Amino acid sequence: MDLTMRAAELTRRRRAFVRATVVRAQRPTSARPGDCALVLDDGTIEGFVGGQCTETSVRDAARQALTTGESTLLRVLPGTAQTFPDTPGATVAVNPCLSGGATEIFLEPQLPAPMLVVSGSTPVAEAVADFAERLDFVVDRLEPGATPAADAAAVVVASLGGEEPGVIRAALDAGIGYVGLVASRRRGADVLAQAEVRPDERARVHTPAGLDIGARTAAEIGLSIVAELVQAVRRENLGSPTAPIAAPRTAVDPVCGMTVTVTADTPHLSDAGTDVWFCCPGCRRAYQKEHATCS
């Protein structure tokens, strides 16, 4: 599989994933420096960064990276090794099933760029779209009568009339975190009343939209609005997941004591009607030898 092309495809589909790259490997680990994999938001691993024991640690660390949006260096150590303390930017995982060696894997989360929906064709709308694209927002120009995409992080209504109340109402109903209206305070209050904005929704609506920088021209107003959007992204996590990525189902390998992620490929067997999960086929065989009734 061409991971570069696969990563580009996931980016086009606006799907979150983590790029995992082995930067250091100590024998007898099976991974080598430069090995790479993509870890999808559902825990699927495409590529190779180590055996099944290592994959469990990578999945868990990748889930944390997607939740925080921050890169991390994962140190996977054998159970007999001296443990190293966690440090900023690094996470330690001790795998009791490793026979020796260690790996360091750099995990880089790839989150979809925040989507900004711009309603209107006024000079202010053009300036907002221009500045936002320069800052790597995905800009969607809303057609008359259309509703904002549900996965948008923000909507800026800069039509200076027309369908403003309907666009605001649709954006709020879709749960969009930032709704900006280009209007004076007096006209803005009237538009919000027409949109029937509830008190619990008011904090998401910004009117007049933008930071107060004394803007006068259309370009300056557009700059102030995009600056407010950047502030919301960086300080208020606009566009980030509102809840941690759901933790995968896990189980404890009864042979080595390792916590494993349960997937379709996880080795397992049935013992008296109960599913038992293992980190690798070797642990499954060892368990099966001691429990003759297993299937």
- pLDDT tens string 227-263: 999 999 988 888 765 444 556 678 888 887 777 778 7
Question: 225: which residues sit within 8 A by CB, 6+ positions away?
Answer: 124, 128, 131, 156, 180, 182, 209, 210
Give CA 178 to chain center in angstroms.
19
Does 36 have pLDDT greater than 50?
A: yes
What's the one-letter identity of residue 263?
A: T
CATH of the domain spanning 115-236: 3.40.50.720
Q: What confidence score (pLDDT) does residue 243 get? A: 44
**Residue 164: DSSP 8-state:** H
Average pLDDT, the chain: 88
Q: What confidence score (pLDDT) does residue 85 get? A: 61
What distance in Å separates the CA atoms of residue 208 and residue 216, rounded to the nearest whole number?
A: 13
User: Where, residue-wise, is CATH 3.40.50.720 in the chain?
Assistant: 115-236
β partners of residue 9: none
What distance in Å separates the CA atoms of residue 176 and residue 157, rounded to the nearest whole number?
A: 13
**Residue 247: DSSP 8-state:** P
